[in-house]
Amino acid sequence: MSGGFFALLDDISVLMDSTSTAAKTAAKNTVGVLGDDLAVSAAKASDFSASRELPVLWAITKGSFLNKIIIIPIMLALSYYFPAVITPVLLLGGLYLSYEGAHGVWGFIFPHEKEHPSEQKGKNSQEESEKSKIKDAIITDFVLSIEIVLVALASVQKEPFETKVIVVTFVSFLATIGVYGLVAFLVRFDDMGFALAKNAKTGSFKRKFGLKMAAVLPIIVKILSVVGIFAMLMVAGGIFLHNIHLLHEIMHPIPTLAAELILPLLIGGAAMIIIDGGRALFKKIQ
């Protein structure tokens, strides 16, 4: 009896050790997508009044958890019953990331001002606009969540199914907690700075430091946006290079980092021409 008990403990120990190693690998591989998720979420959550930032962020976070609850079982079931489907779905995700990344780079080269909801004529009320933004953020999170789950799943494809379940679930929910926890800190960063400067003497270090904290938030969000776009492109590039042997052979002479940026830019640019050009043509026909 005791021998069976210790054998069980040994099996659990081996499983936990294997799971821990797999989780580290999966978490490392999802960093690129998380960078994009963080940048997008911070930009969306910071576009509200201070009193609405945290409630809006909490609504988006709940939507993100729901996304994971929906996506994880579906992707695990597909990997178990129809593993051949995972690669095409992963490539579709890479196509989406390439398209969004190319759009982001295009926006850097040819910047244009976004229309603020309060300045739009004939649009919904502020409350309806807020709900619309939350919905849009949750939809964006859904696509990125699929990518996070698939990248995590691809990292543990050779592991036993129970390890896949533990690792993918752990990494996916940790991603939501980590990303939206950091976003909550970022969107209140300027308010913390104002609070620090409020009761400080004019000209004091405390006041200057607090005001500097408030002033630096837009810069942080902008940096995250830039880093997020390039991280998104590199994740897409990695997906294409690792799953399409022909592309890997073609891009082999080019350094890996350069290939992971160039390839998705070319694919994303082509997708922009087809999708955006098709939309413009459709509008003209109508």
Cα separation, 154 vs 29, in Å, equals 9
Kindly give, in sequence order, each residue whose CB lies less than 8 Å from that of residue 266, ignoring residues fewer than 6 positions away.
none
The pLDDT, as a whole number, for residue 118 is 47
196 phi and psi angles, rounded to 5 deg:
-65, -40
Written as six digits, the tokens of 138 are 């949750």
- Residue 81 CA neighbour count, 13 Å, CB half: 6
C-alpha to C-alpha distances, 155 to 86, 94, 211, nearest whole angstrom: 12, 16, 44
Contact 105, 213 (CB under 8 A): no
Q: What count of other Cβ atoms lies within 10 Å of the Cβ of residue 125?
A: 9
Amino acid sitting at position 163:
T
Per-residue pLDDT of the chain (286 residues; tens, 9 = 90+): 444 433 433 443 444 454 666 666 666 666 666 666 676 666 666 666 666 777 888 888 999 999 999 999 998 898 888 888 888 887 888 888 888 888 888 888 877 655 444 444 444 566 777 787 788 778 878 877 887 888 788 777 777 888 888 888 888 898 889 888 888 887 777 778 888 888 777 778 888 888 888 888 778 777 777 777 787 788 788 888 888 888 888 888 888 888 888 999 999 999 999 988 888 887 777 6
Cα separation, 247 vs 73, in Å, equals 31
Contact 236, 150 (CB under 8 A): no
Amino acid sitting at position 124:
N
Helices and strands of the chain, counted as H and E runs: 10, 0
The pLDDT, as a whole number, for residue 109 is 83
Burial class (CB in 10 A: 0-12, 13-18, 19+), 240: buried
Written as six digits, the tokens of 117 are 């909801």
The pLDDT, as a whole number, for residue 122 is 47
In the three-class reduction of DSSP (H, G, I as helix; E, B as strand; rest coil), residue 222 is classed as helix
Written as six digits, the tokens of 40 are 């997008």
Task: Write the Ramachandran bin of 277: left for phi over 0, alpha for psi from -120 to 50, otherwise beta.
Answer: alpha
Q: What count of other Cβ atoms lies within 10 Å of the Cβ of residue 243?
A: 16
Cα end-to-end distance, the chain, whole Å: 77
Cα separation, 137 vs 284, in Å, equals 29
Measure the CA angle with vertex 34, ends 31 and 40; round to 5°: 150
In the three-class reduction of DSSP (H, G, I as helix; E, B as strand; rest coil), residue 259 is classed as helix
Tokens 């398209």 locate to 99
Q: Which of 220, 250, 236 is nearest to 103 (CA)?
A: 236
Q: Where do the structural domains in the chain lie, given as residue ranges?
A: 33-112+128-173+218-285
Q: Which of 145, 146, 169 is nearest to 23 (CA)?
A: 169
